[in-house]
Structure 1
Amino acid sequence: MKHLYTILFLLTGLLSATVSQTRPDKINVILMGSTHFGQEGFYKQGPSMDLFSPGRQKEIADINKQLAQYRPDMILIEREPSEQHTVDSLYNLYTSGKLQFAQLSYGRAEQYQFGYTLAKQLNLPQVYGVDFYSSLPTRLMRDGKNLDKFIEDLNKFSNLGRSFDQQLKDGQLSLKQYLLKLNAPETLQATYYNIYINPARVTDGSFGKADKTVDTARIDKSHIGAEYISLFYNRELKIYSNLLSLQQAHQSKRILLIMGQRHAAVLSKILEDNPDFNLVPLSSYLK
């Protein structure tokens, strides 16, 4: 009888693990949080940081081969819906063999190396932009009570990201391992804490230079940290709304969403709270 219980326990665990990865009764989503590989500040650090290098291209091919096993029926990237015409034009040129990513100044970007490449492999008709752009620097707060503690924690978090970059540069991490570190639960939680939790401790302050998306005349300075969080969260909710609209329009059931890592940290929590969705860990497919 003891052996029977052991077998049943193992079978239950295996079934639970399988169901937690993909569920046919849910809208499955893999969120791949990424560094912006196309930025000069990243790829000009050295040959090992350049996704156009032969070694990195081999790694990208391996990553896309594993992601293809997920069989996404929709791939979403960090471009705005208003830019869909450009997204479609570039994708059509790429799939017809008339465009090489090296021809694009931002061709190393994750949206091309993973989004476009994988979509072509899977014969998907389109790649969709889901972003809502807003230029919000993480160091937007200029002054305020408890600001020093917030900055101290933010610096520690920034150092964590830089340590990942350095490990990739030095060859201690493969590109796959680097992406898995960015998307590890503890890294996503650290991102979420520093951008969406910790700032609320800052009060009685003000913002520095902000873009037109920030109406400084309506800012409650006594709750400047909460205002900071609301600005960042507002963008994520609009990205989430764009995702819902596209899913509804195309009735997709297996979505791959490729965004900056900061977006993945909060969108993962929003999607987890939606009972219609099942969040599939990236690590389920990247082995």
Structure 2
Amino acid sequence: MLHRAFLFVLLALTSLGARAQTKPAELLLIGTFHYDNPGLDLTKVTSVDVLAPKGQADLEMMATKIAAFGPKKVFVEWQQNDQATLDELYAHYRKGEYESYIRSKYTDPRKLNLFLKNEMFQLGFRTAKKANLPRVYGIDYQGTSFPFDSVQQAIRAAGQTAIQQRIDAALKKFGDDFNRKASTMTLRELMLDANTPADLTANKGLYLDIFNRAGAVDNYAGPYLVSEWYRRNLYMYSVVQKLTEPADDKVMVLVGSGHAAIIRDFVPYDPRFRLRELREVLK
């Protein structure tokens, strides 16, 4: 009886929420490779020079079209608990002094690479400024773990040679495919390709089809890694939910493709939002 009562209350609240929000906000969810290529992902790929004239021209075009779409808020893959730093960076960007500020503040090549090239600044800040937004919001949560080494140990202990071969082959294919595309595609084409159903499905499949099978029957290293990845993305999505106000009829979320592949599955169950595709906005 308790479970039925809880379900009834939950359905009633959902119905009330749906009626209160008659028109869902359009959520432009953009998955991307990391422009600064820090080498932290499982797949290692070659770098795309987003600072070159062709890359900058594509970024100008994309930011202009996304700004014309009219997002009321822009969310990026910056740690939510460090919003103050993001605010400081964006304030300098709006004043037109971002690059000089970064070069005066950081000398470490890795930091310079991050702050000068990463998509948060190159596309997120650029779009927000064109849309005349006062702030860019960080949504990342890094309190989860990603125990890839434990998963591989569990695979070895269980003698899952075929699973390990599938992981190796999938990671190699991701890298080879991206490097091949990057050699011929423009930045705009790479961004559109990263948001195709095929690319997003392959990204998510690595977790559900392969990692989730890792380990012996009584070993849950694989499912634990997958659950932690989902938890991180659920937390990120919760920040978007909490910060999107009734007046925000359109929002943009810019995250790595691995995040976008998971987050887009949450949206159909949330009456507050309706997904918009990047290809529609960049037409």
Aligned to 1:18: none
Query: Hey, what does 2:178 align to over in structure 1?
Result: 165
Aligned residue type for 2:83? Q
**Residues 169-188 of structure 1: pairs in structure 2 closer than 5 A:** 169-170=182-183, 172-188=184-200
Amino acid at match of 1:27: A
Corresponding position of 2:273: 277
- Is 1:149 matched with 2:162? yes
Q: 1:109 to 1:140 in 2, by over 3 A?
A: farther
Note if 1:196 corresponds to 2:194.
no
| CA-CA distance at 1:196 after TM superposition | 3.1
Q: Whole-Å Cα distance in 1 between the matches of residues 87 and 266 of structure 2? A: 28
The alignment partner of 1:118 has SS state of helix
Distance in 1, matches of 2:212 and 2:145, equals 20
Q: Distance in 1 between matches of 2:70 and 2:59?
A: 17
Partner of residue 262, structure 2: 266
**What is the RMSD computed on CA atoms of the aligned residues?**
2.6
1:153-179: CA deviation from partner (whole Å, max 9, x where unpaired): 333332333234323442x21111111
- Counterpart CA distance in 2 for 1:41 and 1:223 is 27
Distance in 2, Cα, partners of 1:162 & 1:24: 43
Deviation at 1:27, TM superposition (A): 1.6
Distance, in Å, in 2 between the alignment partners of 1:204 and 1:246 is 41
> What stretches of structure 1 of length at least 5 have no aligned partner?
1-22, 206-220
Shift in CA distance, 38/227, structure 1 to aligned 2, threshold 3 Å: same
8 Å CA contact 2:150–2:221 kept in 1: the answer is no
Flag the 1:24–1:258 CA change in 2: closer, same or farther, 3 A: farther
Alignment gaps of 5+ in structure 2: 1-20, 104-110
DSSP-derived class of the 1:222 partner: coil
DSSP 3-state at the match of 1:130: strand
TM-score, normalised to structure 1's length? 0.77
- Does 2:249 align with 1:253? yes
Q: 1:177 to 1:274 in 2, by over 3 A?
A: same
Rounded Cα–Cα distance in structure 1 between residues aligned with 2:96 and 2:237 = 33
Using the alignment, how far apart are the partners of 1:191 and 1:32 within structure 2? 14
TM (norm. structure 2) is 0.78
Percentage of pairs with the same residue: 23
Instruction: Report what 1:121 is aligned to.
Output: 130
Structure 2: which amino acid aligns with 1:136?
F
1:228 maps to a residue whose letter is L
Aligned residues: 246
In structure 2, what residue type is equivalent to 1:35? Answer: F
On the 8 A contact 2:27/2:252 being kept in 1, the answer is yes
